[in-house]
Amino acid sequence: MDIFERLKSGEPIHMINVPEYHAVAHKEMDRCRKLCFQINHTIPERAEIHPLEKELFSTGLSDKSYFTPPFQVDYANQVTVGEGVFANHDLTIMGAGGVTLEDGVMIGPHATILTVNHDLKDLQILKCKTVTIKKGAWIGANVTILPGVTIGEGAVIGSASVVTKDVEPHTVVVGNPAKMIKRMEE
């Protein structure tokens, strides 16, 4: 397995003692930082920004999907973006563990998606879990999604929520930690 497969599998990876982490993962992080900087400092016109976003998301980015700058993504090669995904400004994705944004996902401003955690006994050890946001889910402003969470199809996450566990399809969750307050008709 390559380093990203190892990270996605949840294998603990020591940030200093694993040479592949530095050789491969840091190279991707540097590529993403440079492209995010360039995107975030480009005149905010879709014709200028979208080609740079396509380069950033080397796994593929539809012409119908758009990320509003400024934003920060550290491992864009681990982020899969479906059709018609929209992310408002100030999105942060720490994606070493893998992120899937399915078709029609909408993300409000200042949202954070985390796939990385640290071992409590040795903070140099990364522990990653994939985040999946299913088709048509809506992530409100200032939401934080923690590692390993799957947000169900058509779910709504209320503003300022902290999502610590999976969210059922077609439900509304709010709070810290986020709790279901309503089921919606499909």
Report, as residue numbers or ranges, the catalytic residues.
118
Burial of 173 (0-12, 13-18, 19+ CB in 10 A): buried
Contact call for residues 104 and 136 (beta carbons, < 8 A): yes
Starting at the edge strand that comes first in sequence, how are the strands of the sheet with 71-73 ordered?
71-73, 91-94, 112-114, 144-145, 162-163
CA dihedral 23, 29, 34, 36 (to 10 degrees): 160
